[in-house]
Every structure is written in C-alpha cells, then in structure tokens.
Copies of this chain bind each other. A is one copy, B any other.
Amino acid sequence: MDQFAIGVDLGGTNLRAAAVSASGQMIEKIAAGTDLTQGPERVVSDICACIESLRDRHKNLRLAGAGIGVPGFIRMAEGFIVGSHNLPPLNNYPIRDAIEHRLGTPVVLENDANAAALGEKWIGAGRDVDDLVLLTLGTGIGGGIISHGRVLHGFVGMAGELGHLTVVPNGNPCGCGNAGCLEKHASATAIESMANLLALGEHLSAKDVYDLALQGDERAIRLFESVGQALGIAIAMLVNIFNYPLYLMSGGVLAAWDFFYPALEKEVRWRSFSYRNTDTRIGKAALGNEAGLYGAAYLPLQAQKAQTA
C-alpha cells in the first residue's frame, strides 16, 4: 500500500492542506479560512476537519502522518507555538497534542519558513544539496536552515529566525524588541514604509512601488537597491557562518528581483571572502507558496524514515 502524508499551512487568515505522496507528488489540495475569534479549540477543529477530509478521500493510501507549518516560534518538545503575532490565541496552547489525540496519527509542528525550506530541499530548488538557507520575503521575513537534509532546530526549536538578523544596528524598530532587523528593511511592509518616507504616493503597496520602479521612477529604483543591500548584508553573514552551497529566497518580494538582486550580489561579494572564493549559489526558490505544504507533508515521512533507519 503506497504511503502519503498531509501537509498543513496555517496562517493568520488562510488554512491550506495538501495530500502529498511519499515520492513528492501533490495528490490533492484544499483551502479554508482560519477563524481565530472562537479560540484555539476551533482552529484545532478546523485543521482536523481538513486532515480528516483528505484522509477519508485517499483510503487507498497509508497515511504516514501530518505536518503543520505555522508562523511563530516553536517549542518542539512541547508542541507549542510561542510569540506568534499572527496566531495570538494559539500561543502556549498544546496544539500538536490536541490534533494528534483527535486524529490518532503522528503530527509534527514546524515553523512555516522551516517547512518551506524543507520542501525546497525535498523537491524544489535545493533537491541537489543537503544544506541550504531559505529566506521568505513577504509581509515579514522568515528563515529556514536545512543542515544534513533536516531542519536546524536548536535546543528549543527557535533556530532560523533570519528576519531578525540585525542589518542596521540602530535601524527601524521591530516588534521583536530589536532595531534594524532585516525584516524591517527588506520585507513588503518595509518597502511600503520606505515608500511612505519617500512620499512616493498615498498608501502604496509593495506592488505599487514595484510598478513605479518599472516605470523608471528613480526613487523607487533606489528603494529596491536599499532592499538588496539589507538582504546582501544578511546573506553575506550567513555565507560566512555556514559556508553552505545554496541560499534561496521566496515570497512576493521576489517579483522585484531584477531591481534588488544586483545590489544584493554586490554586497555579498564585498562582504564575504568565502562567497568570492567558492561556487556559492544565491537564487530563487522553485515551489512558490506550495513549498510550505510540501515541506510540512515531508515532516512525518522524514520522521518515519529516521525511525526505521
């Protein structure tokens, strides 16, 4: 009987789930909404309903388990989310055990960017390497580090918080308590904030700023160079720390790649001896916003492999 697993991507607004075969084929994908107003039990119930629905429709396959990607810091041992701004009712709630208990199948909880990094390693832009770093460039910036083919967790589960690397020591204030975090200088939100500082227009979205750059607006073009510099400072440090072969980026900000990448690459070249002297690759992730679904589904499959190895 062939195996499959279910990957769940839980966001503050959207809830998505996918059935993925053990060889990495997406079998079926479903979407629902996240309702945070009724407390954590309701979220758990909705997640279970998605998983059960996929399980029931694929009874010809054996379910290895479910992986759930969530925004926020994870305490792996406890199966808790902590410090999530997008899912405040779930903070410190035993979400993993609640779902596992109701479904009777193994459940792995993971940070969403970590899950996306694992998806890229499994069947995406990183499938030819064992070690990579992923930056997800959206409204915030997440990070995932894959070391020897597995998510790097640290001792609690909070590793890979790359959006909170300090790239400007006294830069823009961040909700994490720091100032000058990468995500306050290179996320979509940071792009909108910079557009506002430059008085480029009223309530511009990052997409509007990108359109201005396309039209040749010098200030918008310069803004994306600044985004590239911030990313370059961070990636140069990651290269100097890890000497991994591959650094990937994903997320909506990638649309502006041609405007920010030259400044990024120049910064990394300048700041990293090992980048200049090795075949280190910096590139785009391949799986778009499905990386997290693939990676979440791979978590129980990988855990099973490790047990039987």
Contact B166 A243 (CB under 8 A): no
Taking A158-B243, A244-B155, A278-B158 as contacts, is the C-beta distance between A177 and B273 under 8 angstroms?
yes
List 9 A-B pairs, minimum CB-CB distance, nearest first. A154-B243, A159-B243, A158-B274, A158-B243, A178-B271, A161-B240, A155-B245, A176-B273, A164-B240
Partner of A131, one of B155, B158, B241: B155
Alpha-carbon distance A233/B293, docked complex (angstroms): 34
Alpha-carbon distance A152/B152, docked complex (angstroms): 12
Chain B residues near A73: list those with CB within 8 A: 273-274, 277
Contact A164 B83 (CB under 8 A): no
The reply on A167 being an interface residue by CB < 8 A is: yes
Chain A positions within 8 Å of B, measured between CB atoms, are 73, 82-83, 129, 131, 143, 145, 147, 152-162, 164-169, 176-178, 233, 236-238, 240-245, 270-274, 276-278
Contact A236 B178 (CB under 8 A): yes
What is the distance, in angstroms, from A84's C-beta to the closest C-beta of chain B? 11
Chain B residues near A145: list those with CB within 8 A: 241
The winner among A129, A167, A241, A242 for most chain B CB atoms within 10 A is A241
Alpha-carbon distance A143/B37, docked complex (angstroms): 47
What is the distance, in angstroms, from A297's C-beta to the closest C-beta of chain B? 24
Chain B residues near A155: list those with CB within 8 A: 129, 131, 243-245, 278
Contact A154 B131 (CB under 8 A): yes
Contact A270 B237 (CB under 8 A): no
Chain B residues near A244: list those with CB within 8 A: 154-155, 159
Contact B233 A166 (CB under 8 A): yes
Contact A156 B271 (CB under 8 A): no
Alpha-carbon distance A152/B194, docked complex (angstroms): 38
